[in-house]
Structure 1
């Protein structure tokens, strides 16, 4: 399971692999993330006033307006900064080590492959009629900041779960059950929200765990987070900007589903389809990487 690229990626983490540093780093990430969110919420309330601020913050829960989507994406700035601070303060390593080898090139290639696979799936018939959501003019107006926000959000999650947790766990444990599976399980469980997803909560967790495993494997093979970030970026851009679930970050989507995240009739088959597409994307990227190894 270990590759030369992954060994080089983990090497900086081996300098200070103490478990207390990993725990401390996780705390740093959580504190920076929550402090950033709190500061943003206080700022919004201070600017708009208590009543308008409370109403505006209420819209953030569902993300059904363009501003709400952008603010929600911006809250991930703290999560992005957290691991960069932790690896410098507690592990005495350069923040650049969390990105690994050729992050820009592998991001671009993986994002391109993912986008092509997603475009191919558009030809398949859907079991529902999508509802037109955001007017084209509004969509184009917010497109650039929305893409920047999605880049930030997906990058933050990849830095935490693959860049930081996976490398730090691999520095202490040889078994991939620890450094691949454990971060994927944590990533999936953080998507557990039965209050809004009802009986679909286990399905959503399962889909997130599968993605976590795919992202972990791409990190293992490439020795960096670029490929996983590219897949994550296109996946979330599609779910936020193209077709969003009704009432779930749908404020900037061109279309939305006629059902929400708690629909037990339609969502599970949709999630199974998405999981199959995730596996196909993974297989295509692995084939591209294998071809590159042969020609290189």
Structure 2
């Protein structure tokens, strides 16, 4: 059963809701995303040469310095382009139809950012005494200089992921099956598995998948309750700003972190409880957002 609030996002998907279109659409979007990254790599290789390029590629993959992080985030422009082609080629609808009404998207985005900043900031301060001493970035001027580019990059990255998983996959499945167990859970599981990285995360890989899938489920539920991507996108954006630009504890994507753990401090014994606390944070934010949606 589709809630009336979700109809604005589901109705445009119904004319071309066949499952093969959705699968093929994801394949097309992924192919264009990969081609975009290859094109970026080719430009870097031509500019820097083979030896320097191989070193730079490793730095970009981990976002270990300011420019590498910005370049990594910019790869998600390929996701926007891929989904734009998919929507026009296979579904004869605009990319904007995945977002919802612009005023609603903007309002809910601001609410999502505020909710995550308030609740997330409060919980971060609450667990601060149990963290090792955090190291401040050695060059605050560099952080401030790159901050606008990094914020734009995170806006692009989180927007691409929300459009693909909550905008495209969820609305297509809702139009095809109309069962919440399908259109809420399947995109959330796909979102979680997209973050699986056993090589770098080791024993934490499945905890990260579970944490990411939980966020996906929360974002999916809020999307169907609001009929727009704004709230989910705002939460996603604020969460990544906190994790990438403010306090980095996972040992990666820390090229522009204001505060980070000292080298060697990000062990599994520390990161596992932090991931669990992040899951508790997301449930608290979800409860606050659901309360706001019910009372608005």
TM over 0.5: yes
Between the aligned partners of 2:276 and 2:234, the Cα distance in structure 1 is 21
Between the aligned partners of 1:119 and 1:190, the Cα distance in structure 2 is 27
Residue of structure 2 in register with 1:199 after alignment: 203
Q: How does 1:188-227 map to 2 (within 5 A)?
A: 188-227=192-231
Contact 2:108–2:234 (8 Å) recurs in 1: yes
Residue of structure 2 in register with 1:54 after alignment: 54
Q: What is the Cα deviation at residue 134 of structure 1?
A: 4.8
Between the aligned partners of 1:260 and 1:232, the Cα distance in structure 2 is 28
Residue of structure 2 in register with 1:288 after alignment: 292
1:268 aligns with 2:272: yes
TM-score (normalizing by structure 1): 0.95
Structure 2 unaligned residues grouped into runs of 5+: none
Residue of structure 2 in register with 1:37 after alignment: 37
Contact 1:134–1:255 (8 Å) recurs in 2: no
Distance 1:173 1:261, change over 3 A: farther
Residue of structure 2 in register with 1:121 after alignment: 123
State the Cα deviation string for residues 127-173 of structure 1 (Å, max 9, x = none).
22212235211110000000000000000000000000000011100
State the Cα deviation string for residues 96-155 of structure 1 (Å, max 9, x = none).
111013211111111111111122123313322212235211110000000000000000
Higher helix share: 2
Distance 1:261 1:24, change over 3 A: farther
TM-score (normalizing by structure 2): 0.95
Residue of structure 1 in register with 2:152 after alignment: 148
Residue of structure 1 in register with 2:253 after alignment: 249
Q: What is the Cα deviation at residue 198 of structure 1?
A: 0.6
Q: How does 1:19-38 map to 2 (within 5 A)?
A: 19-38=19-38
Tell me whether 167-176 or 119-128 shows the greater mean CA deviation.
119-128
Distance 1:134 1:80, change over 3 A: farther
Between the aligned partners of 1:175 and 1:18, the Cα distance in structure 2 is 15
Q: CA RMSD, aligned part only?
A: 1.5
The count of aligned residue pairs is: 292
Residue of structure 1 in register with 2:100 after alignment: 100
Contact 1:188–1:209 (8 Å) recurs in 2: yes
Structure 1 unaligned residues grouped into runs of 5+: none
Q: What is the Cα deviation at residue 8 of structure 1?
A: 2.2
Distance 1:134 1:233, change over 3 A: farther
